[in-house]
Amino acid sequence: MQYLGLIRGLYLCCLIMFSASAAYAGQTVTIDQGHNLAMSNLTGIIQDILPKETAYCHYLVKNTGNITDDIYLSSEVVSNTGGTWTTLLVADEITSSLLASPQPLTAGETLSFYAKIISPVAAISGSCTIRVSAVNSYFHEHGTGDGWPAQGDADVQQDVINIQLITPMLTIISTTPSDSSLVPIETLIEAIFNPDPARWNLMMSLQDESTGINVAGRVVLQGNRLSFIPDTPLAASRQYKAVISGSGFVHEWRFATMSTEVKIEPADEIQSIVNYPNPFNITTDKYTAFSPLSINEDVVVEIYTLDGSLVQTLTYQNGTCLWNGQKNKNEDKVSSGIYIYIVKMKEQRKIGRMTVVR
């Protein structure tokens, strides 16, 4: 009987422990469900973008718990090539106002926001991987593996976006001189591009094909125009090759110079344009003028330093372009020295030198 009583006692003790264990197990499943999230990517896979463009990815994050919760939002560049990529979280695509973090959401409330991805400024190729995260206040405070309960209350949502730049095709719209043309020895060599060629890191050279020697000069990039300005007039009766190359782009064309006996036809009005006075003394001369200019033509005169920096752009006024020689385009005082000028009229170009004396 004593043994029977002992067996009954052990059975009751086991039953009590099992019941307690079951109760505790049930409790771990029903821990406060306040900290739960759902996040959706409405944009899906972002299409590849052109250089200098900005991509937006639309997200919704919802508080699926039963209490008001602080939601911590973030985005980061996981990997990138081609330059510096930037990612920001913004409220919308129009104003691009930065999104504050954390965002308090009531139970069942949904927040709309965008990941704004900015491509590298000067890149023509590259890619990046962006990670967007939403974390509830419980996980933000405790995290995983720190000893606090995790079931149902430690929630983090993440999404990964991959973007690649589409390299646009660089094309030359026109060249001056045109291919196989015959030109005067005073000639500007220029190419007009589509799109803006700044990202291609282009180089431009001019070679005298009879000697194989490159002509000394300066390369000037202004907008979508790349120009080569020879330091001296070209040799007469020579064949020249112009070459533009950079970042996988190569283009070349040829032209020939006239002999010294060849006279320029009167129709080539631009060759009659002169700069006077030259030298130009700022102390005694009020202006230096470029004339005569056709009254009905759109004419522009650009002035450069010897190293190819644009000093000033002059516009046509009553048959002439005037410059007082005082300041450059940035309103800085101009120094004494030799300058290069380029007269542009329709498709014609004329280059020359002028001296400024202070």
- Is pLDDT at 162 greater than 60 in this prediction? yes
Q: What's the pLDDT tens digit per position in 246-298?
A: 877 899 999 998 886 544 444 456 777 778 788 788 877 778 888 777 655 67
Contact 49, 78 (CB under 8 A): no
Token pair of 64, please? 């699926």
What is the CATH number for 345? 2.60.40.1930
Q: Which residues contact 209 (CB under 8 A, 6 or more apart)?
A: 238, 239, 240, 241, 254
Any domain includes 285: yes
Any domain includes 135: yes
Asked which of 228, 257, 286 is the last residue of a domain, the reply is 257
Residues 48 and 151 in one domain: yes
What is the rounded CA–CA span in Å between residue 59 and residue 75? 12
Any domain includes 28: no
Q: What is the DSSP-derived secondary structure letter of residue 2?
A: H
What is the CATH number for 228? 2.60.40.1220
Domain count, the chain: 3
Compute the average pLDDT of residues 73-80: 94
What is the rounded CA–CA span in Å between residue 59 and residue 41? 5
* One-letter amino acid for residue 150 of the chain: A
* One-letter amino acid for residue 213 of the chain: I
Residue 93 CB neighbour total at 10 angstroms? 11
Domain residues for the domain of 296 are 269-357
Residues 57 and 73 in one domain: yes
What is the rounded CA–CA span in Å between residue 154 and residue 139? 5
What average pLDDT does the structure give for the chain? 80
pTM of the model: 0.50
Any domain includes 263: no
Asked which of 235, 257, 279 is the last residue of a domain, the reply is 257
What is the CATH number for 133? 2.60.40.10
DSSP H or E run through 339: strand 337-345
Asked which of 148, 164, 180 is the last residue of a domain, the reply is 164
Q: Which of left, alpha, beta for 346 (phi over 0: left; psi -120 to 50: alpha)?
A: left
For 201-234, give the DSSP string.
--EEEEEETTTTEEPPEEEEEETTEEEEEESSPP
